[in-house]
Amino acid sequence: MTNKITVTIEFHFKGKQFSPSASLDLDELMQLHGTFPEIHSMLAKLNNIDSYSYEYEVMLAEDVQFSDAEGLATEFFTNDSFDQAAFEQKWHENNALSELAPIIKQHLNIDDIEQQQALKAVILAAWKLGKATS
């Protein structure tokens, strides 16, 4: 399942309205960066707005608007708002469980860890501890 969301920043500069926008593939962003990049600068770059311009400075003063969430992103999207931190955490957990699935199958003979919530919680806690100490 593809995780996507559209980001837009609306602002006025020199009497003109600007609405730079982009549809973001969240899986690609997370795989590349491990976290959400700074949206204003990413959106400026994607819409050919120079980061050393007054136009960019005006854009920085405006809030990001989110829309068209797909996949896992829909769980963290409400009323034009997107909980990036919660999405990142869930994305990393899902990614870890996906990578751990063959090990879980081999050692515990469990095909769907979602059916074993207590065990899933223990595995994720151990994974987080391992990440914290490495």
pLDDT in tens, 62-121: 999 999 999 999 999 998 899 999 999 999 999 999 888 888 888 888 888 888 888 888
Contact 14, 83 (CB under 8 A): no
Domains held by the chain: number: 2
Per the CB < 8 A criterion, the answer to whether 11 and 80 are in contact is no
C-alpha torsion sign, points 78, 112, 33, 24: negative
- Claim to verify: residue 34 and residue 73 sit in the same structural domain: yes
Nearby residues of 80 by Cβ (< 8 Å), 6 or more positions away = 65, 66, 67
Same domain, 26 and 74: yes
**DSSP secondary-structure letter at 51?**
T
Helix (H) or strand (E) holding 105: helix 84-108
Find the domain containing 121 and state its range: 91-133
Question: Is residue 18 located within the same domain as residue 57?
Answer: yes
Amino acid found at 131 = K
Q: Do 37 and 71 reside in the same domain of the chain?
A: yes
Instruction: For residue range 3-52, list pLDDT tens digits in order.
Output: 999 999 999 999 999 999 999 999 999 999 999 899 999 999 999 999 99
